[in-house]
Amino acid sequence: MLKISAFSKLSGISVKALRFYDSVKLLEPAVIDPNNGYRYYTQEQLLTVKRITAFKEHGFTLDQIKTLLEEHPLPEVKLKLADKKKELERSILEAQQQLKEIDNRIARVEEADQRQHETPITVRSVQPQLTASIRDIVPRAHLCLLLDELTKYVNSYGEGEGRDLTILWYDHGGTYTDQVELEVAVPLTKTIPSNERVNVRLLPELKAAASLVHLCSPYDDSCLAADQLASWISSQGYVRSYIDPIRETYLTSDKDIYGKMRLAELLFPLELG
């Protein structure tokens, strides 16, 4: 007979683990001294430890190992091993999908980092785009609720997630107030039905717009980018057009936000000379 400390050294299993195995009835001591509670193991139980270790290396859970330590006909053992093989194959496929998604995230982070370090302010045109949108007058804090409502609607028609969300600011004039008139829009690949809340329409072309790609927090009540862009327009001799609303497009999807900041493009429509 071996005391638990001696058995631990021979088996390579910690005393703590042996006590845990005892508590879950995976490997119980051969004898427990009723006077002092000392646990004693036999040399034959070293084989059981080796079997437990081997099964753990194969990915079996303790409950599964407990079953495998019992006597079973070999065909039944073969079925249990085959089931474990299928389980591991599923795990491998899931891990491969996770690796693929991580690679995609890395690519998106690299793209966002590159765009952030490009020339911060440019003048460009914007092509017309089929969109679904919701226009409303709401507290600025309700912006996320509108975006969520819109994305759920377009997703119900098979228009997938991860698309750039655009906000059209109608009356804030570059400053942030409590109640704002705005329109949230998401691009579509096909025409879907409108309803009393969602309008499917062609977002019009902007022949010229001042563009500023910047990092912003969706949770902040103010953003310096609008003031920066307005000052640049004035300094360069351009004239802002008030026919079309200011547009702000989130270039970072919700799931790609790390920390509080997300990449966005602010667009001020310009008058053509």
pLDDT at residue 113 above 80? no
Residues 80, 177: Cα–Cα separation, whole Å: 65
Each residue's pLDDT tens digit, 40-65: 999 999 999 999 999 998 888 998 89
Task: Say if residue 167 is in the same domain as residue 86.
Answer: no
Each residue's pLDDT tens digit, 12-48: 999 999 999 999 999 999 999 888 989 999 999 999 9
Residue 112: the pLDDT is: 60
Task: Say if residue 127 is in the same domain as residue 109.
Answer: no
Task: Say if residue 44 is in the same domain as residue 131.
Answer: no
Residues 200, 190: Cα–Cα separation, whole Å: 10
Strand partners, 31: 40
pLDDT above 90: percentage of residues in the chain: 51
Task: Quote the tokens at residue 150.
Answer: 């819109």
pLDDT at residue 102 above 70? yes
Three-state secondary-structure class, residue 130:
strand
Domain count, the chain: 3
List the beta strands (DSSP E) in 173-260: 179-187, 199-203, 206-216, 246-250
Q: Residue 22: give its domain's CATH number.
A: 1.10.1660.10
Residue 173: the pLDDT is: 46
Q: Residue 244: give its domain's CATH number.
A: 3.20.80.10
Q: Which of 68-82, 225-239, 243-257 has the highest mean pLDDT?
A: 225-239
Task: Say if residue 36 is in the same domain as residue 146.
Answer: no
Domain containing 155 equals: 120-269
In one letter, which amino acid is 86?
A: K
For all residues of the chain together, what is the average pLDDT? Answer: 86
As a whole number, mean pLDDT of residues 185-207 equals: 94
As a whole number, mean pLDDT of residues 121-125 equals: 92
Q: At what angle do helices 4-11 and 15-23 cross, to 10 degrees?
A: 110
Task: Say if residue 52 is in the same domain as residue 150.
Answer: no
